[in-house]
Amino acid sequence: MSKKIIIIGSGIAGLASAIRLSTHGYSVVVFESNNYIGGKISEINKNGYRFDTGPSLFTMPKLIDELVKIGYKNPEKKFDYKKIDTTCSYFFDDGVILNAYSQNKRFIDEVSNKLDVDSKITRKYLDYVAFLFKSTNKIFIEKSLHKLSTYLSVKTLFSFLKIPFLSIFKSMNKTNTQRLKNPKLIKIFNRYATYNGSNPFVAPGILNVISHLELNEGVFLPNRGMRSIVDCLYEICIKNGVVFKLGSKVDKIDFLDNKVNGVYSNKEYYSADIIISNIDIHYVYNHLLNKPHYLSRHTKNNRSSSAIIFYWGIKRTFEKLSLHNILFARDYEMEFNEIKSSQNIQSDPTVYINITSKHIATDAPKNSENWFVMINVSHNKGQNWDLLVKNAREKIIKKINSFLNTDIEKFIEYEEYMDPTSIEFKTGSYQGSLYGSSSNDRMSAFLRHPNFTNKIKNLYFCGGTVHPGGGIPLALNSAKIVAKEIISNEKK
């Protein structure tokens, strides 16, 4: 009889874990408190507009391709996506608009033409972030940092020998200032700190590795939007016999003699040989295990930033805008200082606008666009978010009007929003932080909670709040680490 695995949460890491383990012969049941699957990767369909409500950036599609290959065992089966030519359009307050491209030679030429930066500087920098990726990916992302075996390999030795060249001991901003010189180009590359909710003026320079995925490997878009990633993985799970229990919040993890036995949900008991948590690590220890002291070291880590997101149905099209757009603050360092103070919306917020209808016509009515509009804010510390959302909306509209020379409010015919409190309520993210712990500390990669615990046998963790971190590629890698660990332990 196959061993029974219960997965708590149906975020992308939970789905990926279910695929990897069900295809390996395990009986897998997924408990989801919502009446829909997908965690943060959800969607809104209203008034002819469709919005992806969570992650909007798709890189490293090979990780999804790998799951399709594992789940279907059929080379004919594919996940449909396309590479996007313009990865992002960057808008500066002096009127300069710079387009980044998936083909990095075009990006280098754009930087040279728009910012008068020597092509050799940009080329050398892109080679540098590629070096960061190749030096760290196999060790810091694809393997557990909490297993002795990870450190007893030649590859790990070579990775550690490269540490002096990985900018671990100076900030992203300092690294970029030294290498790039141009203020606008520095601002563009500092921006990547926000991809895991960090501050580029504090976070270690090694995080510049994030830009490699966009500018050296490219940006992609699923043909039916980000939500279709979840739909694809769910279909594979069903094909392989994974059972889903929706509207089934897990109330407690049952363990005896430091070994899991099962879970309680909706006043019923479900036994299990192995349990995988795909929900926020703080919630697990504080509510499901009632062992908050187990998490003491990790609670000291700073929380990542959160966001205020508006979903606007815009009854007009804007040719200047592309799929991903950034309207930069004038003073970027001041913006991050204001986010840290957390009590007010920053005086001049950087605004991100994602418009999938630029590539997916059915995401908005004809001659209209679906705008996902976001600014970074502090995680929830008890602020008056009703007031802050109102203030954010006013500042965002003022900025958009200034940058695009328009009156955007008169074109908004549909609107919803999320703030840190609703993000926490809908996704279970502790204090509404989007990425769990921030990566502002140079040791943050080592301080993230491991994918298992030595205190309770057969309890594992995947998703954005544990190693290796937040974002779709890292969450998928956490599932790979967990599955490999479980299979390895079972063989022993």
- List Cβ neighbours of 447 (8 Å cut-off, separation of 6 or more): 297, 298, 301, 437, 441
Report residue 323: phi and psi, to 5°.
-65, -50
- List Cβ neighbours of 212 (8 Å cut-off, separation of 6 or more): 126, 129, 130, 132, 133
Which of the four pLDDT bands, split at 50, 70 and 90, describes residue 151? Answer: very low
Domains defined for the chain, CATH in brackets: 4-39+226-301+440-491 (3.50.50.60), 82-220 (no CATH), 305-427 (3.30.519)
Q: What is the sign of the dihedral through the CA atoms of 75, 76, 79 and 83?
A: positive
Beta strands of 53-140 (E only): which ranges? 81-84, 86-91, 97-101
Of the chain, the percentage scoring pLDDT greater than 70 comes to 90
pLDDT tens per residue, range 209-257: 999 999 999 999 999 999 999 999 999 999 999 999 999 999 999 999 9
Which of the four pLDDT bands, split at 50, 70 and 90, describes residue 159? Answer: low
pLDDT at site 234 = 98
3-class DSSP state for residue 197?
Answer: coil
- List Cβ neighbours of 302 (8 Å cut-off, separation of 6 or more): 437, 438, 440, 441
pLDDT tens per residue, range 176-203: 999 999 999 999 999 999 998 899 999 9
Distance CA 396, CA 401 (A): 9
Encoding tokens for residue 9?
């949460």
Report residue 143: phi and psi, to 5°.
-125, 160
pLDDT of 166 > 70? The answer is no
Which pTM was predicted? 0.93
Distance CA 57, CA 44 (A): 17
pLDDT at site 301 = 60
pLDDT at site 294 = 72
pLDDT of 148 > 80? The answer is no
Query: What average pLDDT does this structure show over 45-49?
Result: 97
pLDDT tens per residue, range 72-81: 988 889 999 9
Encoding tokens for residue 380?
């929830």
Averaging pLDDT over each range in 399-408, 421-430, 433-442, which range is the top one? 399-408
pLDDT of 62 > 80? The answer is yes
Beta strands of 409-484 (E only): which ranges? 412-418, 459-461
* Of the candidate ranges 8-17, 365-374, 434-443, the one whose mean pLDDT is the lowest: 434-443
Distance CA 151, CA 149 (A): 5
Buried-state track 111-142, b at ≥16 Cβ within 10 A, e below 16: bbebbebeeebbbebbebbbebbebbbbbbbe
pLDDT tens per residue, range 96-107: 999 999 899 999
Query: What average pLDDT does this structure show over 43-65?
Result: 96
Query: What average pLDDT does this structure show over 1-27?
Result: 94
pLDDT of 121 > 80? The answer is yes
pLDDT tens per residue, range 386-401: 999 999 999 999 999 9
Please give the span between the terminal C-alpha atoms of the chain, in angstroms, as a whole number: 18
pLDDT at site 299 = 47
pLDDT of 354 > 80? The answer is yes
Comparing 175 with 136, the larger pLDDT belongs to 175
Query: What average pLDDT does this structure show over 37-50?
Result: 96
> If you average pLDDT over every residue of the chain, what do you get?
91
